Amino acid sequence: MNIHEYQAKQLLAKYGVAVPLEIPAKSLAEVRPAADKIAASGSAKVVVKSQIHAGGRGKGTFKSGFQGGVKVAGSVDEAVSFAEKMLGQILVTKQTGADGRKVQTLLISEGAKIKKEFYLAVLLDRANSRPLIMASTEGGMDIEEVAEKHPEKIFKEHIDPAVGIQPFQARKIAAALGLKGDLFNAGVKLIIGVYNTWWECDAAMVELNPLAVIELRDGKEIVVALDAKISLDDNALYRHKDIQEMRDLNEEAPLEIEASKFNLNYIKLDGNIACLVNGAGLAMATMDIIQHFGGMPANFLDVGGGASKEQVTAAFKIILSDPNVKGILVNIFGGIMDCNVIATGIVAAVKETHLNIPLVVRLEGNNVAAGKKTLAESGVAIITGDSMADAAQKVVKAVGK
Amino acid sequence: MSILVKPNTKILVQGITGSFGAKHAQLSIDYGSQVVAGVTPGKGGQFFEHGGKKVPIFDTVADAVKQTGATASAIFVPPPFAADAILEGSDAGLEVVVAITEGIPVRDMIRVKRAMQGNTKTRLIGPNCPGLVTPGEGKDSHGGCRIGIAPGYIHKKGNIGVVSRSGTLTYEAVWQLTSRGVGQSTCVGIGGDPVNGTSHLDVIKMFNDDPETKGIIMIGEIGGSAEEEAAEWIKKNCKKPVAGFIAGATAPPGRRMGHAGAIVSGGKGTAAAKIAAFKDAGIGIAATPSEMADTLLKMM
């Protein structure tokens, strides 16, 4: 699960990470009082930041033509006028795709004079199953690009989960970032806080890009999480009721939300051949084989190990809600589950949804002969495939006609 | 021979009284596997009865091991309690602990992995895996050792080792082999989570050392770099033909494809990189998942 920047910063602040003065606003009525507070704090500028689950906001464009999802205003009035052009509008960035995302929340923030920008992230290193802190002096940049072109500019520190982060490890990182004096000590505290946020919240990733040294009005410099991104481990959400409440359904595809209600794992893609498969690996492989034979998969859909008739019907309805779908490939390896139960479910779903596009079914496994008989005698138009390759070729051909 | 387990391996089931654990304990008994004990805290002294067999239930794994001599376990307990169950199996000195449970928090597995570091006696397989099967000699491979949730009857005793992160894709490969009259030594599902007990490479090394295994099918998927590490080792050390398939070439980056570990992030873990590593290591690449068995058989 992903959360918004302002929510990420709320979590970080709980663990002692310094963040700028900022106030989220969900309506225009909330923008002016928020901007007033920021101005009253002594900040000469007021920053208005669109809150969506996608990067590249600053360089994004609203569908209205308004440029920039992050704007720096010189006055409260200007901040309000920016907010009017942003709130409720669709923002398109390099990460959102052409459809963009509707901005439903703005983060009203103090304008900081940025002296230095760093990158700091905590994630799992899968190679050794340990937490890894990654830091770089190249903040505000695309970190993948830095990793590729200047790997020497990325500092890595593994954490032993038995004892957690040790202060000396945070000191090594702060030193690698070139922090000195008070900023060094503040940086150490911040780095420990960022790690603890990752561990205590069961995060998959905590990323500050940038982590910044900013200059306050009185000339004093402080180190803060200027931008923050947190994604959580879905499997651990059961023990974080407060974080569950941060879920924003507006950021998720409606079909994927619908699928999750039936314990179906569905991800919409751009092709026109839908697939319905049991098992994640087989579902990925089915998408691959459709493309291998010249088709394009419309989705990933794993119905799980013990698909019921209700699940199969729900799966068909979800698949058919995608207007691009011109054909369906069902690929079931019924190891334990009875192929005949699946076949009965497919026939019922076809009748209930009045299916009028080509359907290719490949069944294999337990009680497969009875399953195939059920399909053949159902009176509904179903093309059967003998193997994955046969079925994939048949559906690609049927859709191509 | 085979790897990890033999047909006579004594199995205990942690979570045998839950619906999922009970169902698969029954299927393992039907397959002829030696299910000798169940563990459900608070139900010690009761029995799990199926097919004329009475399997004793214990409160602790330590008791079950002491009383029955079980050396392997299958874990079916729900995710919040699974890490504890794994460490209990490890503490009891089991040789093989197979965690079937899907949905264990990553943080729990990081701790488990750290706690088991240096433990040379217990091997953890999974979590979020279908388990393992060493086929038997009876009809439809009856009499083998089935730990987990794989369909037993699709197997056939023979000389091909299969290792995969995915359940149904393993069954697909096994069935392709069996349908062509080719049997398997052992089939191992290592699971689809980002932190797991046993890697592709661990299993490949065991297959390489197992005299009964003559060829290997290795099935991978997007995410992480375990396939690349296995390929590098195979290139230098493996004496046996290996064929492989990588699932997820069409998966969009940044999206988790069902398995918690199946994600391309930061440009890492792509199918293209894994396929390139396979090619470089001389691993036969199945162009489609329909050709996994044929690709290996052509090499042998």
Nearest partner of B255 among A96, A274, A267, A3, judged by Cα: A267
Chain B 73-102, CB below 8 Å of chain A: which residues? 79-80
Q: Is A158 on the interface with B (CB under 8 A)?
A: no
Q: What is the pLDDT of residue B44?
A: 96
Query: Which residues of chain A neighbour B229 with C-beta distances below 8 Å?
Result: 127
Q: Is B173 on the interface with A (CB under 8 A)?
A: no
- The average pLDDT across B40-47 equals 96
What one-character-per-residue DSSP string does A349-369 give?
HHHHHT--S-EEEEEEETTHH
| CB-nearest partner of A265 from B27, B249, B258 | B258
Q: Is A401 on the interface with B (CB under 8 A)?
A: no
Kindly report, residue by residue over A19-62, the tens digit of the pLDDT. 999 999 999 999 999 999 999 988 889 999 999 999 889 999 99
Asked if B250 and A287 come within 8 Å (Cβ–Cβ), the reply is: yes
Query: Which residues of chain B neighbour A277 with C-beta distances below 8 Å?
Result: 168
Asked if A236 and B106 come within 8 Å (Cβ–Cβ), the reply is: yes
Question: Is the pLDDT reported for residue B156 higher than 80?
Answer: yes
Query: Which residues of chain A neighbour B194 with C-beta distances below 8 Å?
Result: 124, 126
Q: Mean pLDDT over all residues of chain B?
A: 95
Asked if A161 and B167 come within 8 Å (Cβ–Cβ), the reply is: no
Kindly report, residue by residue over B163-194, the tens digit of the pLDDT. 999 999 999 999 999 999 999 999 999 999 99
Asked whether the beta carbons of A161 and B110 are under 8 A apart, the reply is yes
Phi-psi region of A341 (alpha: psi -120 to 50; beta: other; left: phi over 0): alpha
Asked if B257 and A284 come within 8 Å (Cβ–Cβ), the reply is: yes
A267–chain B nearest CA distance, Å? 8
Asked if A291 and B249 come within 8 Å (Cβ–Cβ), the reply is: yes
Catalytic site residue B259?
A: yes
Query: Which residues of chain B neighbour A365 with C-beta distances below 8 Å?
Result: 151, 154, 171, 175
List, for chain A, all residue ranges whose pLDDT scores fall below the cut of 50: none
Q: What is the pLDDT of residue A306?
A: 67
d(CA A105, CA A4): 9
Q: What is the pLDDT of residue A164?
A: 97
Provide the 10 A C-beta neighbour count for residue B270. Answer: 17
Nearest partner of A334 among A307, A297, A299, judged by Cα: A307
Asked if A279 and B168 come within 8 Å (Cβ–Cβ), the reply is: yes
- Per the listing, tokens 């459900």 go with B40
Confidence of residue B64 (pLDDT cuts 50, 70, 90): very high
Confidence of residue B112 (pLDDT cuts 50, 70, 90): very high
Q: Is B228 on the interface with A (CB under 8 A)?
A: no
pTM: 0.94
Asked if B172 and A335 come within 8 Å (Cβ–Cβ), the reply is: no
Asked whether the beta carbons of A297 and A273 are under 8 A apart, the reply is yes
- The tokens for A18 are 């310094």
Phi, psi of A266 (to 5 degrees): -120, 135
Q: Is B1 on the interface with A (CB under 8 A)?
A: no
Q: Is A302 on the interface with B (CB under 8 A)?
A: yes
Q: What is the pLDDT of residue A312?
A: 86
Q: Is A289 on the interface with B (CB under 8 A)?
A: yes
Chain B 184-223, CB below 8 Å of chain A: which residues? 192, 194-195, 219, 221-223
Testing the interface with B: which of A235, A364, A367 to mutate, by most B Cβ within 10 A? A235
Q: What is the pLDDT of residue A96?
A: 87
Chain A 380-399, CB below 8 Å of chain B: which residues? 387-390, 392
Q: Is B266 on the interface with A (CB under 8 A)?
A: yes
Q: What is the pLDDT of residue A401?
A: 63
Query: Which residues of chain A neighbour B259 with C-beta distances below 8 Å?
Result: 280-281
Kindly report, residue by residue over B227-241, the tens digit of the pLDDT. 999 999 999 999 999
Asked whether the beta carbons of B270 and B222 are under 8 A apart, the reply is yes
Longest dimension (CA), chain B: 56
Asked if B224 and A127 come within 8 Å (Cβ–Cβ), the reply is: yes
Q: What is the pLDDT of residue A88?
A: 95
The count of CB pairs under 8 A between chains A and B is 171
Per annotation, catalytic residue among B24, B142, B200, B259: B259
Asked if B267 and A144 come within 8 Å (Cβ–Cβ), the reply is: yes
Q: Is A229 on the interface with B (CB under 8 A)?
A: no
Q: What is the pLDDT of residue B206?
A: 97
Nearest partner of B1 among B142, B197, B189, B157, judged by Cα: B157
Q: Which residues pair with A225 in a beta bridge?
A: A211
Q: What is the pLDDT of residue A366?
A: 83
Nearest CA in chain A to B256: A267
* Full 3-state SS string of chain B: CCCCCCCCCEEEEECCCCHHHHHHHHHHHHHCCEEEEEECCCCCCCEEEECCEEEEEECCHHHHHHHHCCCEEEECCCHHHHHHHHHHHHHCCCCEEEECCCCCCHHHHHHHHHHCCCCCCCEEECCCCCEEEECCCCHHHCCCEEEECCCHHHCCEEEEEEEECCHHHHHHHHHHHHHCCCCEEEEEECCCCCCCCCCHHHHHHHHHHCCCCCEEEEEEECCCCHHHHHHHHHHHHCCCCEEEEEECCCCCCCCCCCCCCCCCECCECCHHHHHHHHHHCCCEECCCHHHHHHHHHHHC
Name residues whose C-beta falls within 8 Å of residue A183's C-beta, 6 or more positions apart in sequence: A213, A221, A222, A223
Asked if A284 and B248 come within 8 Å (Cβ–Cβ), the reply is: yes
ipTM: 0.93
A161–chain B nearest CA distance, Å? 6
Q: What is the pLDDT of residue A17?
A: 97
B133–chain A nearest CA distance, Å? 13
Question: Is the pLDDT reported for residue B131 higher than 80?
Answer: yes
